[in-house]
Amino acid sequence: MEEKHEQFMQAALQEAQQAAVIGEIPIGCVIVKDDQIIGRGSNYREHSKLATDHAEIRAIQMANQALQSWRLENCTLYVTLEPCPMCTGAILNARIPEVYYAAADEKAGMAGTLDNLLNDPRLNHQAIIHKGLLQEESLKLLKSFFAQARKKS
């Protein structure tokens, strides 16, 4: 079972690597239903100039289109960095019941680090959270990206 989850997180890491290649912060996301990836996304804010163009939002939109529904109730989301407040809101609104993330986000993480919106009982939906899957690989990619960015500036 763990192998399957690692395979999907590897797919999210591939999305993150593609973002890095084009100069975006390397965050990637995939959404899975019935062991099939139905949504993919990577950060695209710098290119689109849209504040909402995060990996999770792009993957959710693709999955919504694939299922022709705003509800992603039987899906699992895999993302390389802990979701921010906006993305946790989108996850909850899409009714995604389970989230795996690789690395914690100490500046914006809302799935257990700064707060935990995904498990807030005051909200009408919650999600099961799995932390740290392929964390080292995600952190290595992020650290490398920011080290290169510092060299350029």
- Is 84 annotated as a binding-site member? yes
Query: Residues of 104-129 as b/e, b for ≥16 C-beta within 10 angstroms?
Result: bbeeebbbbbbeebbeeeeeeeebeb
pTM of the model: 0.97
- Is pLDDT above 80 for 1? no
* pLDDT tens profile 63-120: 999 999 999 999 999 999 999 999 999 999 999 999 999 999 999 999 999 999 999 9
Is residue 56 annotated as a catalytic residue, yes or no? yes
Residue 46 CB contacts under 8 Å (≥ 6 apart), including other chains: 23, 24
Q: What is the rounded CA–CA span in Å between residue 56 and residue 41?
A: 6
Domains with residue ranges and CATH for the chain: 1-147 (3.40.140.10)
Q: How confident is the model at residue 61 (pLDDT cuts 50, 70, 90)?
A: very high
* Enclosing H/E stretch for 11: helix 2-21
**Which residue in 15, 24, 56, 137 is the catalytic one?**
56
What's the distance, CA 146 to chain centroid? 19
Which pLDDT score, from 0 to 100, does residue 152 have? 79
- Is 130 annotated as a binding-site member? no
- Is 75 annotated as a binding-site member? no
